[in-house]
Structure 1
Amino acid sequence: MRRRRIKLAGTRILLTGASTGIGRELALQLASEGAELVIAARRADLLEILSQEIAAAGHPRPFPVPTDLSVPGAAAALAAKALEHFGHEIDVVINNAGASLTGAQSRIGDADTARTVYEVNLWTPLAMGAALVPTMLARGKGTIVHVTSTIQSVPLPLLGYYGSSKSALAQATRSLRLELAETPIRVVEVVPGATDTALRDIDELPWKANPPKTLPPVTPKSSAEAIVRGLKRGANRIVYPRYSLVPLEFPAFGRLVARIGGRRVNTRGALDLGHLGDRGTS
């Protein structure tokens, strides 16, 4: 599909996971470009603060919708509210909300905490598409953005739920792009690498000693800027930082990194504890 640049001024965007991290910075960046926003996250107070900050800067005030996307059906309800707010004309949906869980799959199994990760990371974006694609097709335009993760190519121990849910979303994104290839709808995958946010998985792993040395994480602001640049130029995949392309394009490298790093994780202790921690919807 030929790249179609997006002029963000006046564009109507539904953004999930907007209260913190990349989502918050993305809301600020999009608003500064003149986009009209519906923003969603669990915490109403953080959404209200963000809305006030954007309005105080002289940009269109976002419409905040407090939503817990770990609840089945919440995504469809959010889409309906956004459509109603925008007069049934949404140009872009950015599925940025994420949830994670650190722990042993052999102990956690399909517990509710594990199912929550999939509800937020996979089922929510798919539900959004089902709710919004018909309207986009009727209007003859639209963009669906799925935020995945570099972890899809680095299968670290104890991060199986987060990694597999993001891998599933990445595969679904590629498939959806082909499904919609003969339509005016654009499908974009955003692949963040190491970013200094609350969902940074390396901080949650139980290391035997010190964590391995890695490249410094990038800031949420720089990630948001990269996403906005990619959307404006019509990219189908936005990877930031750029070195994160290595495990994506050379999966053997990602598996090697996971194998070497995995030896330093206290997996035996995790098997005793089972569930180490979860981080809810952003």
Structure 2
Amino acid sequence: MPAVPLHRPEAPPVAVVTGASSGIGAATARRLAAAGYRVVLTARRKDRIEALAAELAEAGHEAVPYALDVTDRAAVDEFAASLDHHGPGPGVQVLVNNAGGALGTDPVETADPADWRAMYEVNVLGVLNITQALLPSLTASGAGTVVILSSTAGLATYEGGGGYVAAKHGAHVIAETLRLELVGRPIRVIEIAPGMVKTDEFALTRFGGDEEKAAAVYAGVAEPLTAEDVADTVTWSVTRPPHVNIDLLVVRPRAQASNYKVHRES
């Protein structure tokens, strides 16, 4: 793909959002654009991010779509190289690692290793790939921020969640370790760990398109979190003064006390 032009006089800071084609990623891109960032939208579904870029442009915001699979390291490196770092401008200031997902709810005893591998690839290695590729630009910005969207699954276990829980624990550990390793450099590492979020695709993807099973996840829960709730949390964290680091922010709906304690109305 052609170079992504980022710099010009008085250019706004740039935020790269992965998994921006739907759900939390798309909502975060909208919020960051409204907050004054020029947003680079990345996801595998080119048509979705192009439509979102057009929507943001119509609203007077700046957005650049770039089709990208974060599990493809060569493609990620090509993306990083395509970013135009020449000329004036702040460069990439924010990276939101949002691409992820869950597959299946089988117990460890019978789970499909292919599902576990796919979840590890996107939730862990995807974060590693894009973060490594953009760290030089984030450092050069003088006030970089790496956001990792993990999950409460990265902090506690539940039956049937072994593969996803393991992957999100991996994402959580990347955030913790990276923060230790980057201390003293002008980069913050922020981890946002959402609980129950109702989006159009997360549960549906997890259950292989089974709408009945997907709906059952949220049955009786009056107000699960929305993608916009999480996007608001991400944007608030990113827009704190540069010396303020939100190490870990857990956000759940009021009806959810833990991964397995949820109030459901009859």
- Give the TM bin, normalised by the shorter chain: 0.7 to 0.9
Identity of aligned residues (%): 32
Give the gaps of 5 or more residues in structure 2. 1-10
Aligned to 1:217: 224
The 3 A distance-change label for structure 1 pair 85 and 135 is: closer
Query: Which whole-Å deviations, capped at 9, do the CAs of 1:26-84 have from their partners, x for residues lacking one?
Result: 11111112211110111111111101110001112x11111223435443333333x23
Report SS of the residue matched to 1:101.
coil
Letter paired with 1:147: L
Which residue among 36, 39, 56 is the counterpart of 1:34?
36
Residue in 2 that maps onto 1:71: 72
What's the secondary structure of 1:128's corresponding residue?
helix
Asked if the contact 2:71/2:125 (under 8 Å) is kept, the reply is no
Alpha-carbon distance between aligned partners in 1 of 2:256 and 2:190, rounded to the nearest angstrom: 16
Are positions 1:227 and 2:234 aligned together? yes
Structure with the bigger percentage of helix: 1
**Greater CA deviation, 216-225 or 188-197?**
216-225
* CA-to-aligned-CA distance 1:158-190 (integer Å, 9 cap, x gap): 221111111111012011111111111110101
Query: What do the CA deviations read for 1:115-150 (whole angstroms, capped 9, x no partner)?
Result: 221111001111222212233334433111110001
The structure, 1 or 2, with the larger RCO (C-alpha pairs under 8 Å, 6+ apart) is 1
Alignment of 1:162-201 (within 5 A): 162-197=164-199, 198-200=201-203
> Matched residue pairs, number?
239
Distance 1:202 1:37 in 2: 26
Unaligned runs of 5+ in 1: 1-8, 248-253, 261-282
| Residue in structure 1 matched with residue 84 of structure 2 by the alignment | 84
Distance in 2, matches of 1:10 and 1:131, equals 21
SS in 1 for 2:183: coil
Shift of 1:91: 0.8
Partner secondary structure for residue 239 of structure 2: helix
Partners of 2:180 and 2:125 lie apart in 1 by 19
CA distance in 2: counterparts of 1:153 and 1:214, whole angstroms: 22
Distance 1:176 1:215 in 2: 37
Q: Residues 244 and 138 (structure 1 numbering): CA distance in 2 closer, same or farther, change over 3 Å?
A: farther
Aligned counterpart in structure 2 of residue 161 of structure 1, from 163, 166, 172: 163
Instruction: Tell me the alpha carbon deviations over residues 216-264 of structure 1, each in whole angstroms, 9 at most, x when there is no partner.
Output: 31111122112211221243333323759965xxxxxx5xx38x9xxxx
Q: Give the corresponding residue for 2:103.
A: 101
Superposed CA RMSD in Å reads: 3.1
From 53, 56, 59, the equivalent of 1:57 is 59
Q: Which of 247, 250, 261 is the aligned partner of 1:236?
A: 247
